[in-house]
Amino acid sequence: MVSFKTNLRWGQRFCYINLAFGIAETIVGVILFLVNSQFKNFGEFYNDCEGSFTLVIIAGIFFIMLGVLGIYAQRVQSNIAMSIYNIGVTLQMLFIGGSLIVIIIVWVQIQRFQDDTDCTKEDLMIDLNTTYKAGLNLLCSFKCPCDANQSNFQPEVYQTFSISKKGAKKVDECQDYVNKINTKFFFGYESMQVQNYVSLLKTSEEQFNCSGFCSTNSYYVFRDINDGTPINGKDCKAEFLNFISKSIVTTVIVISIVAVYMLIVTYFSLSMIFSQEKRKNCYYNKQDKIQTPNINQLNQTQKI
């Protein structure tokens, strides 16, 4: 059985580790935000990633606060501050555990989207597939003539285009494109929802050099049609879901490491909280404090 004083010493050491851990975790969360900020147009997918990164940052800030509080409790040997610290450690463990569960649920949902290879099972995948097909049929049609450079396309593809020098170069340049795409849905969406779908597909084509959704295409539809040729065989659905999945897996690994560490810290904190010795004497006794000699008393003693 580990003694109370041993637990207290380990708890004091963890205060410094908590501070360092919190600074590192906050930095990691900020870096994840910055690296993924270019994917804001991914809509609710980015929101899931953003929520995961936010949890990492919040956990880091809590660690910093706990570390500072624990160090303060040691320096002044405050029983109240140390009690608050140990309670905070327990609450932090609950927060980390809950965060890990939430992130894993998001990751499982992403896996379900990835498993829907034909875009026929998950509503969101069906909607994005419908949006892509509607945009493909709209651009370079008589409803939206395009300004396509003939040298960028195979003859049999270019022959199917309705060409105009003043035409559109991407779907969102087509006149009234939102309503034209919206007619393809069984239930009409608000304009903002359709715009979000278009933005997601546009960002996917720009970032991953892909075209198609649950399919592949030989030219871009949502980015400039004259930007070149998509990388052969790149499906935008697979590309952006793989990217998001990797980001979430990274977050799961970080939170899991933190959770294991917090289990150890929480063990020592709970051992101190429920220790019989602590109930009798609290964390710090006045006898344990270093007594500073009174200078006046020393002088009087020397005179005598």
pLDDT of residue 293: 45
Q: What is the mean pLDDT of residues 244-261?
A: 85
Q: What is the mean pLDDT of residues 226-243?
A: 86
pLDDT of residue 289: 46
pLDDT of residue 131: 92
Q: Comparing C-alpha atoms, which of 49, 55, 92 is closest to residue 249?
A: 49
pLDDT of residue 281: 57
| CB-side neighbour CA atoms (13 Å) of 20 | 6
Q: What is the pLDDT of residues 70-82, one digit of tens each?
A: 888 888 888 788 8
Q: How confident is the model at residue 273 (pLDDT cuts 50, 70, 90)?
A: confident
| All residues at 6 or more sequence positions from 89 whose CB lies less than 8 Å from its CB, including other chains | 66, 262, 265, 266, 269
Identify whether the C-beta of residue 273 lies closer than 8 Å to the C-beta of residue 8.
no
Q: What is the pLDDT of residues 170-222, one digit of tens each?
A: 999 999 998 888 877 766 667 778 888 898 899 889 889 999 999 999 899 99
Output phi, psi for 156, to 5 deg. -65, -25
Q: How confident is the model at residue 36 (pLDDT cuts 50, 70, 90)?
A: confident
pTM to 2 decimal places: 0.71
How would you class 212 by CB atoms within 10 Å of its CB: exposed for 0-12, middle for 13-18, buried for 19 or more? buried
Tokens read off for 184: 């393809």
pLDDT of residue 25: 85
Q: What is the mean pLDDT of residues 117-146?
A: 92
Task: Please provide the distance, in angstroms rounded to a whole number, between the alpha carbons at the two ends of the chain.
Answer: 51
pLDDT: which is higher, 242 or 12: 242
pLDDT of residue 247: 80
pLDDT of residue 277: 59
Helix (H, G, I), strand (E, B) or coil at 151: helix
Least confident of 62-66, 87-91, 97-101, 271-275: 271-275
C-alpha 145/C-alpha 174 separation (Å) is 8
If one counts every other C-beta atom within 10 angstroms of the C-beta of residue 49, the result is: 24
Helix (H, G, I), strand (E, B) or coil at 166: coil
Does position 120 have pLDDT exceeding 80, yes or no? yes
Report the residue count for the chain: 304
Does position 228 have pLDDT exceeding 60, yes or no? yes
C-alpha 239/C-alpha 251 separation (Å) is 19
C-alpha 184/C-alpha 134 separation (Å) is 7
Helix (H, G, I), strand (E, B) or coil at 34: helix
Helix axes of 236-273 and 191-208: crossing angle, nearest 10 degrees: 100
Identify whether the C-beta of residue 12 lies closer than 8 Å to the C-beta of residue 74.
yes
Does position 294 have pLDDT exceeding 60, yes or no? no
Q: What is the mean pLDDT of residues 79-99?
A: 87
Site of tokens 């899931």: 48
Q: Is the torsion defined by CA of 267, 269, 274, 277 positive or negative?
A: positive
Identify whether the C-beta of residue 2 lies closer than 8 Å to the C-beta of residue 271.
yes
Tokens read off for 196: 């979000």
